[in-house]
A and B are shown apart, each in its own frame.
Chain A
């Protein structure tokens, strides 16, 4: 589903941060190069995998600014597998796309 040979970097505003299992997920609204607002969905690993990288339930909330790097969907829709996220204060939180995902 995701192209692991490619990366996209999307900066946007958090609409939803679902700290849940089996997948943590994040939806953000980003503005593309033409000034059009686009909703992006990011799928991540389990809460267990992410907390080991420093993620917490309170890491993101509605309205936060975040920059996410991910492996994009192969079919071109605005979605990706989360590799890492940079919070507004510069904190970088890694995903869990290596060994087990």
Chain B
């Protein structure tokens, strides 16, 4: 074990003060070490989810294993809005105006701010509710879920780490997800989203304050995955926006390559520029 010099610094944030912290660069990096301020050195190392030591740590057997292909079916989700998340929360005025404009475009048979058609990622939560499979691999330290469309990926870290410091981890469309088990439920909290060109559903955008808490269970003897989303975004709506969605297991298939290609999209009637309202 290498002991680095004691680093003493204090920062004040909202009335709190942080004292001295001993950094220890070793085989077992501390998960909660503070990020040094700018110019004061590298951040503490977070053990990778695939590090041999991290994988080998003794952990309780999880109540279920999500490894498999999960298909989103409109038929299974008629009660929750299918590709929307109904009922809606009370939208703030700016979001309400966008939503109303989106509904008008949809009634006219047009797309509205079709960023997916322009090959932007759907991001969470929509990446989970596409009509292509979600290939899911569960390890003791992480769940890796790859949506076939555009190969969008989300990682749910299970190794006890805190959220990554936004000072050192860029915002992303899939967000920063950490999960833990509560009985028969996987509880996942996701933060640090990229808000540009990122929508919950048609016409409802997110801000950088968007947060999702998910409660995930397996039902029907492991054939159904059920995920209850609790979404908050004080910039765009009031309170909690709750919605439960379901997927069925379909393991007799593997996902394939499916890039978003602008020249392909220009030939598809639903994604060509003529159908998009901005």
Q: Which residues of A contact B (CB under 8 A)?
A: 1-3, 16, 18, 20-23, 25, 27, 41-43, 45-48, 73-77, 79-81, 99-101
Contacts and interface: CB of A to CB of B under 8 A. Distances in A.
A41 B269 contact: yes
Contacts of B72: 100
A18 B258 contact: no
Given A21-B148, A74-B108, A100-B73, A45 B131 contact: yes
B75 interface: yes
Contacts of A43: 268-270
A3 to B, nearest CB: 7
B31 to A, nearest CB: 38
B253 A1 contact: no
B34 interface: no
Given A16-B267, A46-B132, A73-B269, A21 B109 contact: no
A43 B74 CA distance: 18
A73 B71 contact: no
Interface in B258-278: 258-260, 264, 267-270, 272, 274-275
A80 B71 CA distance: 24
A41 B264 CA distance: 12
A22 B148 contact: yes
B221 interface: no
Nearest to A1: B270
Contacts of B258: 21-22, 46
Contacts of B150: 22
Interface in B223-278: 253, 256-260, 264, 267-270, 272, 274-275
Given A47-B256, A75-B275, A77-B275, A22 B270 contact: no
Nearest to B150: A22
Given A25-B268, A77-B269, A1 B73 contact: no
Contacts of A77: 269, 274-275
A100 B74 CA distance: 6
Contacts of A2: 270
Contacts of B256: 21, 46-48
Given A27-B267, A42-B269, A73-B269, A100 B275 contact: no
B106 to A, nearest CB: 8
A90 B75 CA distance: 31
B158 interface: no
A45 B256 CA distance: 13
A75 B105 CA distance: 10
B110 interface: yes
6 contacts: A2-B270, A20-B264, A22-B150, A25-B264, A76-B109, A79-B270
A93 to B, nearest CB: 19
B149 interface: yes
B111 interface: yes
Interface string B29-67: 000000000000000000000000000000000000000
B236 to A, nearest CB: 25
Nearest to A46: B132
